Amino acid sequence: MRSVKAALVQMRVTEDKERNLRSASDAVRRAADAGAQVVCLPEMFVCPYERHAFLAAREARGGRIWSALAQMAAGSRVVLVGGSFPEAAEGRLYNTCFVFDAAGRQIARHRKVHLFDIDIAGGQRFRESDTFSPGADLTVFDTPLGRFGVVICFDIRFPELMQLMALYGAEAVFVPASFNMTTGPAHWQLLFRARALDAQIFLLGCSAARDARSRYVAYGHSLAISPWGTVLAELGAQPETLLVTLDLDEALRTRAQIPVMAGARRTDLYELRWQRGENLKKPRG
């Protein structure tokens, strides 16, 4: 069995960037001490989920946040899916996740592809595109533990993205996230289970802990779903770290038994294709 121990850090996010970095670093260290090999942080783990906070916390690659993440990975000897932070680049801002190997080297970068613009009558309203530009990459990366993918929060609503990552060999996809109190109770678990089944992969969603005093209230409920659609573990709303062991061969077993992602697709009738595939590893057929 090719097993991987993963940790999802559902941390409390405050206005204080340095305090958030310390909380993240302590949690990564504790997760590594508990045996985690890959650790994921939440979307925007350095600042509250609000436009003014995004602007105040923005930094370039190589800055304080990026360097702190690299140190966390190297110091704890884990693969680190570094949540996300407002990345300043090319005169724009992106909602970006950097991934580091256990030596602290950057091995992937995902800029959120689908920006969170919703307007629900009597419920949550948000316009992420007022602040951020969208990314344009499908992010699949190799580690000594297996081939993984990363998307950010609202990206989970787009089944094509997860299926494409599965075609490009991802066995587990990490999702730094921050759902809210309108769509969280209604859609969070359902979306993760649906996407895990669509793509026949492990899906791991890592949210910030809920803070009822903040303007944007995160749902919490970080969770891990198997390629069979089973909820392996799910947290509540409080700060806590979820530890879960993934049997990566389950993705292959599931595909062999129900060949949705392995042979049964009618590619003579329809096609699933990443338009900018030149930088990606070969798809699995």
Ligand X SMILES: NC(=O)CCC(=O)C(=O)O
| Positions marked active-site | 43, 112, 153
The owner of tokens 């951020």 is: 132
CA distances from 129 to 82, 94, 97, 133, 247 (A): 22, 10, 17, 6, 37
Residues whose CB falls within 8 Å of the CB of residue 28, separated by 6 or more in sequence, listed in order: 7, 9, 39, 41, 72, 73, 76, 78, 80
Residues found near ligand X in the complex (CB under 6 A) = 43, 116, 153-154, 157, 178-180, 183, 187
Q: Which two tokens stand for residue 264?
A: 């049964």
As measured in angstroms, the least distance from the Cβ of 187 to ligand X is 6
CA distance 189 to 39: 20
CA distance 125 to 166: 31
As measured in angstroms, the least distance from the Cβ of 173 to ligand X is 15
First and final C-alpha spacing in the chain? 24
As measured in angstroms, the least distance from the Cβ of 163 to ligand X is 18
Tell me how many degrees the CA angle 116-221-141 measures, rounded to the nearest 5: 65
As measured in angstroms, the least distance from the Cβ of 281 to ligand X is 27
Q: Which is closer to ligand X, CB of 92 or CB of 127?
A: 127
**3 state SS of 259:** helix
**3 state SS of 244:** strand
